[in-house]
Structure 1
């Protein structure tokens, strides 16, 4: 009983980290940009985070080298952590972290559009099609707000639109990297002599190192490091950098990976609904940026679209199936005479077991 309580406490703590810390990283990136240029920020963050994570993996005794896995990690890390994060960091020079977080939440749109093997399944679902329509509507609303506002100069307005376009392109890079990781990883049966696959933490460490190296190269080429003077960095901005490295890249990711091992993936994915709310709240309370009604409406529409696009996953999730089963059983109990309740429970349990057997056979058939 005590172990269960500890386990429940760990799960709640991990969710709080993933929900709040990841949501707050948008705000801390904006804070750090007061002293760091975009590519220097990315360089320092991911070089340190990747090195720390690699060191942790070494201490845990994980294998660090596997040519095939490293090659894949470098490619995926370039798309996921360099292209996408470079777009986020660069964009936050011009637009608020709240708007950046909303547009990042709309990444689900690109997963539906670019996931070609699932086109037939996705585009035959009314919920997913409605989700796409709502998602695009939310994104258009954010662009329209920038175009229609008369409170900022035309040059600044154009720069804001450019930043938003760059951010959208970055989320597309994230999507392509994620889909590559999903579909193009060779199965274990591909080669019996193949080396054992690296631990997921090791792969992520290589991805972070890749991103750090890419950021460093660009920062050197652009002359950002030549102009960088660490003595002029405000102490609060060093604090933001440390937060991004330790809390954002190390703690939050580790919590996310752990949750995927102990909780359903569809449940863990709910962080996508909370992160932009956290980011927008931090913008409202701790920055000079204005949080408009249109931004809040855009956020609500985008999050609703994400819900619709994932509806088929949520309704088939085992947690939701268990809830529906309990409600159905409770209803039968209330309808039946007391003497028949044991029989109802027996029949319901039999039906549940039969259904589980059928699902197991279906999965085994799909695998074979």
Structure 2
């Protein structure tokens, strides 16, 4: 299978499949409590991927398991758990727009903890309109639905948690395959979510007989498309493509989520929310452009140096 096909297929997975997961979460929450829904999504997906990894599991060191555990907590407890909890009172399109701030958080993490990633000043300036856009979406959500600002805070915390997990997972690409790494992170995160669901009383009050076929179908979609396919594609892209380019899924997901939420679920979407979403997308595009051009510059300089050296040898 050619690399080009893998790249295109992986981007299609995180663009389209992940864009539909906000819609699926809303449907799943109709008869499955949030932490239990996310536990099923993560743990079942993780078990499938670990089974596909086979004997390679034994080759993973305890350090790899430890780092995978931390990433699993950040990705699936800190992000997906909070996301599902917030989506009980926030439309799926609004949730997707707020989580579109993930590239901002990744950028800030790279600034605070510099490694091989060095954000450009123009990318930092691009944060301003993005945060203004999130503010507009949050204000409009409170104004229209009359809900607390707290769910927006939970969603921002979820975006931050995913971003920290992304930065940490980026450094693990050489320790295990994308399938094994995803399976480790998903299964560990799912196990902790099951524990949270039990501690919060969800498991005790849950009645399987009352779960609708719609919620079951949504849960299966989240497991197969969101976890098994989508997360493997995400980890593979982190190994093979620049992080700034991978993070562009965050401005495609809201489009898919808003379309599905508005057309199928009848969720409200006003001009003010459109303006806020546009500011977020513009910021992400500027960040991507700045980071993409900076990543190309060292390569161009290396090519010129190699060409100059070759000319000197001749």
Class of the TM-score when normalised by the shorter of the 2 chains:
0.7 to 0.9
Check conservation: 2:45, 2:223, Cα contact below 8 A: yes
**Residue 146 in structure 1 maps to residue 141 in structure 2:** yes
CA distance 1:142–1:264, change in 2 (3 Å): closer
What is the match of residue 11 of structure 2?
15
**Residue 250 in structure 1 maps to residue 228 in structure 2:** yes
CA distance 1:210–1:352, change in 2 (3 Å): closer
**Residue 177 in structure 1 maps to residue 189 in structure 2:** no
Q: Which runs of 5+ in 2 are unaligned?
A: 310-314
Cα distance, 1:43 vs. partner? 1.6
Q: d(CA) in 1 for partners of 2:170 and 2:15?
A: 24
What is the match of residue 225 of structure 1?
203
Name the TM-score, length of structure 2 as normaliser. 0.86
Check conservation: 2:74, 2:161, Cα contact below 8 A: yes
Q: Which runs of 5+ in 1 are unaligned?
A: 189-196, 323-350, 361-368
Cα distance, 1:356 vs. partner? 5.9
What is the match of residue 291 of structure 1?
269
What is the match of residue 100 of structure 1?
95
Query: Which structure is larger by alpha-carbon Rg, 1 or 2?
Result: 1
1:127-167 Cα deviation digits (max 9, x unpaired): 22331111111111112213444xx4xxx522xx1111111
Q: d(CA) in 1 for partners of 2:91 and 2:166?
A: 26
What is the match of residue 37 of structure 1?
33
What is the match of residue 248 of structure 2?
270
Of 251-260 and 101-110, deviating more is 251-260
Check conservation: 1:58, 1:64, Cα contact below 8 A: no
CA distance 1:238–1:307, change in 2 (3 Å): same
Q: d(CA) in 2 for partners of 1:243 and 1:12?
A: 21
Cα distance, 1:215 vs. partner? 0.9
What is the match of residue 104 of structure 2?
109
What is the match of residue 312 of structure 2?
none
Of 9-18 and 243-252, deviating more is 9-18
- Equivalences for 1:1-368 in 2 at 5 Å? 11-58=7-54, 61=56, 63=58, 65-115=60-110, 116-118=112-114, 122=119, 125=121, 127-149=122-144, 152=145, 156-158=146-148, 161-182=149-170, 197-259=175-237, 265-316=243-294, 355=304, 357=306
Q: d(CA) in 2 for partners of 1:76 and 1:267?
A: 20
Q: d(CA) in 1 for partners of 2:302 and 2:114?
A: 30
Check conservation: 1:266, 1:317, Cα contact below 8 A: no
CA distance 1:43–1:64, change in 2 (3 Å): farther
The 3-state SS of whatever aligns with 1:95 is coil
CA distance 1:85–1:359, change in 2 (3 Å): farther
